[in-house]
A and B are shown apart, each in its own frame.
Chain A
Amino acid sequence: MLRFILSRLLQAIPVLLVVITATFLLVRCAPGGPFSAEKAVPPEVVRALEAQYRLDQPIWQQYLSYLGDLAHGEFGPSFRYPGRTVNELIAGGLPITAELAFYAMLVAILIGVCAGVIAALRPNTPQDYLPMSAAMLGICMPSFLMGPLLVLVFGIWLEWLPVSGWGELAGDKILPAITLGTGYAAYIARLSRGGMLEVMTQDYIRTARAKGLPERVVVLKHALRGGLIPVVAFLGPAFAGLLSGSFVVETIFQIPGLGRFYVQAAFNRDYTMILGTTVFFATLIVLFNLLSDIVAVWINPKLRHQLSRSR
């Protein structure tokens, strides 16, 4: 197990290096520097600024010193917000984005697992088609459509919930969480339906039924555990996706999270911010993929067995 984790950690290093290098080069190739502002700035000032941000050095030297900073966990100063570092901006936005992603995950699991399990109990009947078509709605209604529609119905027409903000008014976290969560609910519904269908044909389920257990216990206690393995394996990548995919929802609902910083940075050509967030997101995604691989091995005795045999 330890060897498996270590080897996966080692595999993550080239991935991160490629991300850093590609982003660095892309950002440096971009036309128009961050200081090519509206007003003409005296050349001395430009030179001083360039020296401060190390833009006067040759590109390979910039790259190496950036790598050095990263190794110390430093993402460098922001181009746009003078005096603030990318670290501070990330530290400010991350808790909000993480909270949003967490609620969205709850929504996704709740809707997805319920729909999937209900559908799997009577496959190829209306009880199967209805929840699965409803779940499909989550895939076919992208967040930038779902969000405004929810706002229109529940915020403006019914006036039940606030239309924007985060943590200021009661209930303003509900709509963003639903908007972000429904897309993943659809995938979780499909995975849990597939997993449950497979498990329900296994011998141990027949044994449980033969013991005379009520169907409710068979499903909730015996089948659910095995049937949800594919869902658990999906949670890691899903959470990473929620974190890095939240920028539409954050833009729609004006939530001051990481995603909104990223979009603003992209429009403002705040290069260090773009670079920093991209590297940060990539690291998160790699970490969550790793985590979900480990959890998958841990909860699935078959995989664990394969691993110890292959050694």
Chain B
Amino acid sequence: MAAPLVSLDDVTVQFRTDRGWTTAVDGISFDIAERDCVGVVGESGSGKSVTALSLLRLHARGTSRFPRGQVRFGGQDLLTAPERDLRRIRGRDIAMVFQDPMSSLNPVLTVCDQISETLRLHQGLDRATARRRAIELLDLVRIPDAARRVDDYPHRLSGGMRQRVMIAIAIACRPRLLIADEPTTALDVTIQAQILELLRELRTELGMAVMLISHDLGVIAEFADRVIVMYAGRVVEDAPVDALFRSPRHPYTEGLMASMPALEGGITRLYAIPGRIPDPDEAIAGCRFGPRCRHAEAICRVAVPELLAIEGRHRVRCAPRTRATGGL
């Protein structure tokens, strides 16, 4: 396997709060290969978005810091690279689409202005060329009547259309990695399917890697090749999509699977994992999931389990589950 496109190594993100520095993301490590499609799942507050933003170092300076870890991209560590280099990478090599298309577009600029902004920043296109390119991009994201739509202001577009525009902006410079942070959460179910389909097609057409963040296991199952499950700022499981859905190994992942409604078998009470996701400040010795875990053992409350491979590319952060395979 060739060198990965992006490689996160022990990435840790802390935010300043009234009570000192709080760790939101704690030692995340994973790789994204060229053309890879990685799904990241987890509850709200598990650190999915924080991880995504740290890939481009977009957290506010002064209130956030990276005490350790690296994000390697193209021979550079993005966590320490000069701001100037980062600005070149943002939008050109790594682009991002996020959750709420209603607030992601500047209300006072036309669609054309916003798409051409990236093009003109990174490719130095003149106004006319950028406009032509913007129309092509709108076509590419299947917006009907692109030549007319290009001059619309965002308020004239529906949520689904705006998300398509956001995608058009993101892919404008043919990035090698597209981070999609809950791109369908704010949309209707039918539109969700269309947007996912679009992302899938674009991925093949443009040959880019995609990191899809979602808390919807259905979306992930449909879209991703590989799934990373996050819990309380840590990766708890990292596996190929089939393996994960066939045989989840981490008790938390099992819980997530169990709490999905089944299509068949009538209406039953849905399973819920007892307890709630801990506050980032909460001191929990050992495994962060330990207090909620049905299978917790003595070891879980003592040592922080490591993320270990159990078979092939399937990695799990659970002491009891990895013991059998010679881990620890």
A binds B: no
- Measured CB to CB, the residues of B under 8 A from A are none
A residues near B (Cβ < 8 Å) are: none
